[in-house]
């Protein structure tokens, strides 16, 4: 029997890497993508050794033309994507909005909003045509309410919520499902990237609390994808047990 195909962006680290392993374990064929080709191919080799069919595509989701070529150039037997996980994304900086870096803002907006839209625009028409498919966007608790210094990052994740909700309306006449998974504190490379490689500062984000892992979020993403066809998990907020919302976290000394 033909296996389902999942395309997951940002699989060289964290939540995306967890999703790749979870969907491989769940019997999917996988299209894994990110910019760092070497890491992608390492994951491809590992998953193939476990019996999963894998196509690795190295491109930057901000590059609309590269994204178009990647999707339009898919080999015939990889074209019918069943699940798109729009995970690639990042935060840069934690400065007040009146002091933030224009470059950081551009990178977040171009990746988290425009990159997600690029994939959506090129992949979803096929889903609508086939009358089946599932788009799972990785939003964030940061999209529910802003926190200090979060300004632009929070705005991008609010945009992910609006885009996800809008797409769900646009495909409501089809069997395509649309989900927003909104994690809280997940220990990945997220904070190292946010603080431009300052590992000590990144470590402090997860001090005194047991954070979520990429695998925890991957389980939720896979659960949403595995629900019966008539069940659409519209939105899931996933927090660590000692995190109450985007700003309230109980930390043990
Ligand atoms: P990581 O930094 O560990 O992973 C980010 C992944 O995104 C990497 O694989 C990276 O690959 C890829 N990526 C980043 N920019 C681009 C780009 N321009 N083009 C293609 N791929 C890109 O972070 P997380 O796993 O934590 O983050 C994944 C998603 O989860 C993000 O959207 C983030 O906002 C969201 N999130 C994270 C939370 C957390 O606490 N960690 C909480 C809530 C949401 P490469 O560098 O090889 O391109
Ligand atoms: C990542 C979670 O709270 O660090 O989206 O912004 S948070």
175 closest CA partner among 248, 228, 242: 228
Q: What's the CA-to-centroid distance between 89 and ligand 1, angstroms?
A: 4
What is the set of active-site residues?
153
92-112 per-position pLDDT tens digit: 999 999 999 999 999 999 999
What number is the average pLDDT over the span 176-186? 99
Distance, C-alpha 65 to centroid of its chain = 20
Choose one of 141, 195, 216, 217 to mutate for the ligand 2 pocket test, by most ligand atoms within 8 angstroms of C-beta: 141
First to last CA, the chain: 53
User: Do the beta carbons of residue 21 and residue 50 sit within 8 Å?
Assistant: no
Q: How far, in Å, from the CA of 231 to the mean position of ligand 1?
A: 27
The ligand 1 atom at the shortest distance from the C-alpha of residue 62 is 18
> Taking 90 as the threshold, does the pLDDT of residue 143 lie above it?
yes
Domains (range + CATH), the chain: 5-238 (3.40.50.720)
Q: Which residue's CA is the closest to the ligand 2 atom numbered 4?
A: 185
CA–CA separation, 157 and 109 (whole Å): 10
List, for residues 68-78, the tens digit of each pLDDT value. Answer: 999 999 999 99
Find out whether 163 and 116 touch, Cβ atoms under 8 Å: yes
Ligand 1 in reach of 158 Cβ (< 6 A) = no
Ligand 1 and 34: CB distance under 6 A: yes
Q: Is 151 in the pocket of ligand 2 (CB under 6 A)?
A: no
How far is residue 56 from each of residues 28, 30, 243, measured CA to CA in Å?
14, 8, 35
Ligand 1 mean position, distance from CA 243 (Å): 21
> Which atom, in ligand 1's list, is nearest to the CA of 186?
40
246 alpha carbon – ligand 1 mean position (Å) = 18
Extract the tokens encoding 202.
């990144």
Reduce the DSSP state of residue 160 to 3 states and report it. Answer: helix
**Residue 87: predicted pLDDT:** 99
Which class for 70: exposed (0-12), middle (13-18), buried (19 or more C-beta within 10 A)?
buried
Q: What is the pLDDT of residues 39-57, one digit of tens each?
A: 999 999 999 999 999 999 9
So what's the pLDDT on residue 1? 79
């Amino acid at each position: 029997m033909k296996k389902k195909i999942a395309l997951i962006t940002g699989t060289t680290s964290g939540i995306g890497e967890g999703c790749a392993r979870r969907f491989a374990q769940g019997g999917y064929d996988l299209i894994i993508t990110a910019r760092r080709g070497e890491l992608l191919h390492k994951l491809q080799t590992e998953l193939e050794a476990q019996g999963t069919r894998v196509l690795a595509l190295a491109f930057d989701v901000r590059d609309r033309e590269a994204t178009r070529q990647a999707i339009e150039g898919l080999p015939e037997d990889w074209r019918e994507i069943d699940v798109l996980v729009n995970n690639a994304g990042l935060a840069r900086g934690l400065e007040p909005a009146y002091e933030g870096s224009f470059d950081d803002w551009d990178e977040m907006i171009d990746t988290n909003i425009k990159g997600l839209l690029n994939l959506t625009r090129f992949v979803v028409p096929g889903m609508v045509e086939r009358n089946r498919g599932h788009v799972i966007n990785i939003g964030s608790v940061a999209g529910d309410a802003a926190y200090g210094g979060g300004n632009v990052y929070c705005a991008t994740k609010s945009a992910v919520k609006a885009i996800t909700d809008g797409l769900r309306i646009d495909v409501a006449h089809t069997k395509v499902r649309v989900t927003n998974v909104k994690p809280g504190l997940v220990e990945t490379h997220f904070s190292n990237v946010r603080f431009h490689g300052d590992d000590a500062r990144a470590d402090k984000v997860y001090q005194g609390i047991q954070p979520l892992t990429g695998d925890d979020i991957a389980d939720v993403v896979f659960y949403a994808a595995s629900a019966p066809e008539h069940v659409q998990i519209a939105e899931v907020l996933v927090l660590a047990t000692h995190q109450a919302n985007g700003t309230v976290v109980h930390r043990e000394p």
